[in-house]
Structures are given as C-alpha cells and as structure tokens.
A = this chain, B = another copy of it.
Amino acid sequence: MSTAHIMKPAIRRLAVLTRNFSTSGAVLRPRPTQASAAISASIRTPRHASNPQMAFPCLDKREQKSQALLNEGPEPAYSKIGRESVHIYKSEEPIFLDYGGFLPGFQIAYESWGILNADASNAILIHTGLSASSHAKSNSLNQKSGWWEEFIGPGKYLDTDRYFVVCTNVIGGCYGSTGPSSVDPADGDRYATRFPILSVNDMVRAQHRLISQHFGVKKLYASIGASMGGMQSLAYAQEFTDEVEKVISISGCAKSHPYSIAMRHCQRQVLMSDPNWNRGFYYDSLPPHTGMKLSREIATITYRSGPEWETRFGTERADPSKQPALCPDFLIETYLDHQGEKFCLEYDANSLLYISKAMDLFNLSKTNRDKAEETRLGSEARFTGESTRDIKFSSSECALPNEPYTEKPRRRVVSFEEEKDDLRQGLEKFAHKDVLVIGVESDILFPVWQQREISQFLKESAKKLGISNGDNIRHVELGEDISMYGHDTFLLSLDYIGQPVRDFLG
C-alpha cells in the first residue's frame, strides 16, 4: 500500500528542491505577540506538530475490508445466484454481435409471473436497468422482494392475472446470464476482458431467442423497461418490429448523450484504476471493491437529483459536534458512501464495465444500425465459410489520439441536423406501433429532452409516412412538482409511472 519508501533519484531531488522552497516562508523569527510567543515555546519540543494528524477511518475500514476478504470472504453476492433461484435458458447456437465479436453459445437467467395463455398472446417482457437481476418480483423460486415488487402482480400495474410477465438478466450481466465472469467454452477460462464488446441491441437479440424459441411467443403483447431497460424496449421494437404489440420506454433515450457518457466514463476509469481490477482478471483474487464502491458513488449522483437532495440532506453534516474531515462528513457524503459500500460486492466489476459501455454505444440511428448489421452478417458469413474460425476481429484498441487534445471545436463529419435526421430515420421503422414514452423532469442522466426527442421523431415519421397523425405515440412527462427522484423515479414513484402504463396497456 505504502510507497513512502520508494525513493528514486529524481524524486529525492524533487523532495529536496521543494523542501528548500517551501521552508523559506517558515523560518522562525522572534514573534511580537503573545500568541507567537506561545508558539515559539511550543515548538521547542521537537516533532510536536502545530495541529494533530487527521484521522482516516474511511480508509481504515476499506483496508480492513480487503483483509477480511482475503481471509474469510464474504463472497461477492453475484456469485451466490444459484440455478435454484432463477430459470436458465441455454442457447447453443452462437450469437454474433454488433461490434464484431461473438459468443459461441450463451445462457439467459429469467423469471416469470402469471400464465402464458393458449395463443401465447399475453406475454410482457420487462427489460432491466444496468445492474438489475431478473428478480423483478418475488416468486416461488425466490421469496425475496424484487426490484419492481409493487409494480407487478395480480391487479397491479403489470397485472399477472392478465399477463404473462417475463424478466431476464441481460447478457453481459452476472446474475445467471452469460457475461465476463462466465467461462469461455473455447478454452475453459473465464472470459474476463476477453469478453466481446456488447451493444444494447445484442442484449435484446439474445432475449428474443428466449421469447421466440423457448416460449414460442410470436408476438409480445408489450415490451417495457426503464433506464437501460427503456433503451432495450426501443431496441426490441427496432429489431423485431412485427413481434411486439406495444412498446413502453421509461426514462430512456434513443441515443446516449455526452454528459451521460462522461459520467459513465469516469465510473469505468475509476474502477479500472483499482489495482485489484487487474485488467479484468481478479476472479481468483481480491475483487476491486474499492473501485466498485467509488464507481457506484459517482453513479448514484446521476440517479438522483438536486431538488430531492436539497430537501433531504441540505448541507447538514452527519455529526456537527465533530471536526470537519476529509472522510465522509456531510449527510450527503455518508449517503453516497453507504450506496457505494452496499453495491461494491453485489455486482461483477467486468459486467459493470461492459454494460456501461453498451449504454454509451446505444444509438438507434439508421447509419449506426445498418453498420452493425453489416458487421454481424459479415462475421457470421466468415464463420460459416470455409476458413473456419478465421474472423478478423480488430483488437479493441484505445482510441486516445497520439497528439494531445487541444481546445478547439471539433470538425463534424456530419452536421448536427444530419445526425438528428439519421436518428429519426432509425426510429421510423416502428413509428406505426403503439408507443408510450415517459420522462421525468428532475432526471439529470436521461434528461427530458431525450424522451421528447423519441416521441417527436416517432410522430414526425408517422406523419411523414402517412401512417397516422401521431396519435399512436403517447408522451407523459412528470414535472418536479410530481417527482423529485430524478432518474430513480421509476423505482420510487410507482403510482405516477404505473397509471399511464396501465392506461396504455388497455
């Protein structure tokens, strides 16, 4: 941990140089006041610092945690998901991915509620956010409350008396579906960072196999999701337009935006900088719990919003009787600390990296989707061609430019307007479907302009193609007077989300 004893020549020189400089202002001279005299007296005692050394109990705790993990466990929670608590669907066909990689086979963990009717016309697929498992609601396999417990059930917003509701863990995840912590059958080692880059569209194409091949569902009654689930819901409609009746996207978007990429970038960089991450190969050693904790603290900022925190935490300190500290001190800090701590062993670090990246890459623009399809089909063709196993994957190189970045406006390859029209064209494919888009004004991660964009482009396309006057696209926006919970509104303000969903499902 400590590097204090590493003293190479240059550093030693630096220490001497700066010490000479810094000392210059602190030479002791007779002081005129009483206070100064007191100091002069006090400093006669050697090595008695002017002020006490600050304590760092938050770092002590973290070090103790590492030690405990090395000695005793606990095991990371995600590794405890057993087959007894979820259903596992296995696809032994390979899946070819948007950015050129593939999985030779995969499995999907899923759970379901309600009963699939005879003509398989009442299935609703729930898509999850980044780190959620398939456990949206308690069931016979797992009695624990799910992450949307009160949203689903007999008579509830997703009414299991009427619908057969399915939720999966996305591929790339760690709650039973194939992800970086799974073993690559090709060599028997874990994928780790040999896992291929995923897209959100890849996730829904994997889910589609479960829906069509396992359940024999030819058309979902509805596809619904919030956050990354809202992305997936749109992606499902784009990929399998004729196989879904109604599309619901809550606090989602049609394409990521730079602030959200920037926030996720920081989460990934922080995690990848934890030495225990070890470039993804930590499964047989200490997991990067510190990087995971920090990453989750940053993420938590994006999940909640200013107005709620202002009311809830203000600037109160957790214990005003204590000195301010560099360890968590304000109420808001202890909240973030706790959120990070709670999560740091709940989720697989590599899953977080890959899925976070998939969110950055999410882009339903026509050009982007056409390119992905070309890549996928190309991989598949090469795969089934004569030169077996001869796919030329370009290595995932870092795109850091060799020249340092300078402050200048970028030269756009395509204009802002062209980019927008490209996105509109991407959405055009399902502009004739019944779509419900819900946005929340206090959301800073998926701001309301992103949901307005989805609705606007779908409506414009519907009109342009002479499909409708846009009535099939419903748009609901929750103002700050209704929810101050920001991005997490879908988990916390169930009634405000649920009512329009119920109305829309009919």
Contact = CB atoms under 8 A, between A and B. Distances in A.
B410 A282 contact: no
How many identical subunits does the complex contain?
2
B310 A258 contact: yes
B53 A190 contact: no
22 contacts: A10-B71, A13-B75, A14-B75, A25-B107, A32-B93, A34-B383, A35-B93, A35-B384, A38-B388, A48-B389, A49-B184, A51-B393, A55-B398, A56-B193, A61-B400, A193-B326, A259-B301, A319-B399, A327-B397, A327-B398, A334-B399, A342-B404
Nearest to A11: B285
A309 B49 contact: no
Given A258-B310, A318-B400, A323-B197, A332 B275 contact: no
A132 interface: no
A283 B314 CA distance: 36
A305 B421 CA distance: 24
Contacts of A2: 275, 278
A36 B259 contact: no
Given A29-B92, A52-B194, A310-B257, A334 B400 contact: yes
Contacts of A395: 52-55, 323
Interface stretch (A82-90, A158-166, A202-210): A82-90
Contacts of A301: 259, 262-263, 266
Contacts of A143: none
Given A26-B107, A54-B280, 9 more contacts: A14-B75, A18-B75, A22-B190, A36-B92, A36-B105, A53-B194, A258-B330, A333-B399, A338-B404
A464 B376 CA distance: 71
Contacts of A61: 400
Determine which residue in A35, A194, A353 has the highest number of CB atoms from chain B within 10 A of its CB, and name it.
A35
Interface in A31-72: 31-39, 41-43, 46-59, 61-62, 69-72
A259 B197 CA distance: 32
Given A57-B397, A333-B265, A70 B270 contact: no
Given A6-B285, A104-B39, A258-B310, A397 B325 contact: yes
A18 B181 CA distance: 9
Interface in A184-203: 184-187, 189-191, 193-197
A49 B187 contact: yes
A323 to B, nearest CB: 4
Contact of A94 (B35, B312, B342): B35
Counting from the closest, the 9 A-B pairs by CB-CB distance are A25-B107, A327-B398, A42-B389, A338-B405, A258-B309, A57-B398, A318-B399, A18-B79, A38-B388
A329 interface: yes
Contacts of A256: 315
Contacts of A478: none
